[in-house]
Amino acid sequence: MSDVVARVYITPKQGILDPQGKAVQQSLRTLGFDEVGDVRVGRFIVLRLAGIESTAAEARVHEMCDKLLANGLIEDYRVQVDGGDR
Amino acid sequence: MRWGVVTFPGSNDDRDTAAALERVLRDDVIRLWHKSDDLEGVDCVVLPGGFSYGDYLRAGAIARFSPIMEAVRAHARAGGAVLGICNGFQVLCEAGLLPGALVMNRSLRFVCRDVVLRVENGSGAAVHGCRPGELLTIPIKHGEGCFVADDATVARVEEAGQVALRYVGPDGEVTEAANPNGSTNGIAGVRNAAGNVVGLMPHPEHAMDPLLGGTDGRRIFESVRLWVQGRRT
């Protein structure tokens, strides 16, 4: 069984104030990127998991997110799992 | 009165808190290491300010899994007093012992200054000895002190009188200008439903002596002491 790579995308929940996103949005508009709408700034985590199948890995990573990687009160997360290398 | 002050890797107000309790309140203080799972019979556990585990991931997110936190959880469940200051407040929220979460200040800036706080009601351990409406001047120093929760949680917390302290202007009114971090409803401190667990962003341990700018911080620790004594009798 080869390694599994899991990518976790964590973003502030809709409705939760995201001052970083607001600042980036304003900055982009100042630079002339008028098409920029809502901006959310989050966190991107890459995990390499050994000795596990991608289906099982996905469930484990969800567990990791619920326990530690994301705070469900203020953040949403999305998990993407690739079998094999990269 | 026997206090326990926890030290996590990255705590930096643990010494000041212990000094405040020992030298000003003249109480006994036990220093508790995060790897211990024994609270050594303390009446109140204080989770101090700082940057536990470098504030990696989210402030308080990793500290909540320290061995000492199991003991803190059990102490809280048994009705014992728990006080979280700044990073300690963040740890208690992450641990689910207090409602809501603390996120980056709306200004995106670290704020370090005195704030005026209004005691909402005297029903939590940390404000037990204060009059409702009493104003306290205590410093804050944080980058992630903006209290947020979903609307239902905020409504529930407000309804149940779980807001212990609010940021206010000099006249005691909640205003946008007096809110240093964008906290919902100017919330500076909350308690759990039972009132034995309280978290606040301001630092009472840094307002203990006129030489350091004020003594209103004593009101918080003295309140906890009064609350613990009341519980014993």
Joined tokens for residue B157? 């917390």
Query: Whole-model pTM?
Result: 0.94
Distance (Å, whole) CA B217 – CA B203: 7
Inform me whether the pLDDT recorded for B60 exceeds 90.
Answer: yes
ipTM, interface predicted TM-score of the complex: 0.86
Q: Which domains does chain B have, with CATH numbers?
A: 2-232 (3.40.50.880)
Q: Is a pLDDT exceeding 50 seen at residue A86?
A: no
Window from A80-84, B51-55, B101-105 with minimum mean pLDDT: A80-84
* Interface contact A16-B148, CB threshold 8 A: yes
At residue B25, φ and ψ (nearest 5 deg) are -85, -15
Average pLDDT of the residues in B62-69: 96
A68/B62 touch (CB, cutoff 8 Å), yes or no: yes
The pLDDT score that the predictor gives to residue B121 is 85
Task: List Cα–Cα distances, B56 to A54, B1, B9, B182, in angstroms.
Answer: 27, 34, 12, 22
pLDDT in tens, B71-113: 999 999 999 999 999 999 999 999 999 999 999 999 999 999 9
Topology adopted by domain A4-82: Mth169; Chain: A , (3.30.1280)
Among B104, B109, B151, B156, most A C-beta atoms within 10 A, so best to mutate, is B104
pLDDT range class, residue A13, cuts 50, 70, 90: very high
Looking at the partner chain, which of B65, B94, B146 has a beta carbon nearest the beta carbon of A71?
Answer: B94
